[in-house]
Structure 1
């Protein structure tokens, strides 16, 4: 059934409402003024140049990129086997395992951040790389499990059965048949877990320190004390990067399929 004209108009209005803040930030990011004002007094790329020369933000950007890459790899290594077991194997407690792995998504990140701080501080892991990786993995692994479960479930079990009849062990069949066919889902899971870690702010606020901080935390601190359009230029750069990553996921397997929806 084709959508009616009224439904299309409502969809357009919805898109305008959702995209209008980004359009406002885009205009301000090219402002020639010294403060966050709208409309801008003029247009210039000076704040994008200033962004590239800001050593504090660039250092935090590098930290966040490395952290997100490590978290994405760990989430795939941990979530991939769990997703395979949930999607392909029959065993008691499979539903409980799936529920436990997605449980962190049900809790507010404020609660998770405080709990992580209380656990990691006595162990000396607060404001350290292992502590940040552990904290971000807590919210990234559920996404990896959800997406990889969908990817593995989409591979016909007959392919594995055919490999078994040809002499392959269950492990060999999973490694050489199921995993390559689920590779687009693995890439999508890696991209989205990277973005989840890269964008994580609340948990990071509890776990960072003066010598180890992430880009979202530095953005928060910068916006507290400075009112120039540089933060808008950074925001637009991150929006463009996230949009490209989402388009990659959509290209690989469809965003709705990646999130486990029909």
Structure 2
């Protein structure tokens, strides 16, 4: 059934509402003025050049990129076996395990950040790489588990059974048959957990320090004291980066399937 004209109009209005903030940020990022004013007094790429020459921002960018890469790898290594067990094995408490691993997504990040601060502060892990990795993994692993569970469920169990009949052990069948077939889902999980960590702000605010900070936190601090279009240039850069990553996921397995919606 083809969508009606009314449905098309409402869909267009919905897209307009959703995309208008990004369009506004795009225009402001090319402003030639010294302040965030709309419409801008002129257009220039000066704020993109200023962003690249901002040592604090670039240092925070490097920290966020390394942190997100580490968190993505840890989330896959920790979440992959759990996702396989939930998707392929039948054991008591499987539903409870799935609910437990998804629980961090149900709690406000403000609560998680405060709890992590109270736990990690006595251990001396605040404002440290291990503390940040642990904090970000708390919200990244549930995403990895959910996406990988969907990927493993999409691999027919008959393929593993055929490998067993040919002499493969269950572990060999999982590693050589199921995992390669679920590889697009693993890549999608890695990409999305990278974005989750890279964009995490609230938990990072509780765990960073003066010598170790992430890009979202530094952006937050910058916007507190300045109102120039540099933050718009940075925001636009992050929007484009996230859009490219989402397109990668869509290309690999479809974004709806990756998020567990069929």
1:257 correspondence with 2:257: yes
For structure 2, the residue ranges without an aligned partner over 5 or more in a row are none
- Structure 2 equivalent of residue 113 of structure 1: 113
Give the TM-score of the pair, scaled to structure 1: 1.00
* Partner Cα distance (2:152, 2:14) in 1: 34
Q: CA-atom RMSD, angstroms?
A: 0.4
4+ residue segments displaced more than 4 Å = none
Q: How far does the alpha carbon of each residue in 1:50-80 deviate from its partner, in whole angstroms, 9 at most, with x for none? A: 0000000000000000000000000000000
- Structure 2 equivalent of residue 173 of structure 1: 173
1:200 correspondence with 2:200: yes
Deviation at 1:7, TM superposition (A): 0.7
Deviation at 1:2, TM superposition (A): 2.0
Output aligned runs, 1:53-202, within 5 Å: 53-202=53-202
Aligned residue pairs, count: 262
- Structure 2 equivalent of residue 35 of structure 1: 35
Q: How far does the alpha carbon of each residue in 1:189-215 deviate from its partner, in whole angstroms, 9 at most, with x for none? A: 000000000000000000000000000
SS at match of 2:193: helix
For structure 1, the residue ranges without an aligned partner over 5 or more in a row are none
- Structure 2 equivalent of residue 246 of structure 1: 246
Give the TM-score of the pair, scaled to structure 2: 1.00
* Partner Cα distance (2:191, 2:8) in 1: 31
- Structure 2 equivalent of residue 225 of structure 1: 225
SS at match of 1:110: helix
Bigger mean CA deviation after superposition, 3-12 or 147-156: 3-12
Deviation at 1:4, TM superposition (A): 1.2
* Partner Cα distance (1:49, 1:140) in 2: 32
Deviation at 1:242, TM superposition (A): 0.1
SS at match of 1:112: helix
Deviation at 1:8, TM superposition (A): 1.0
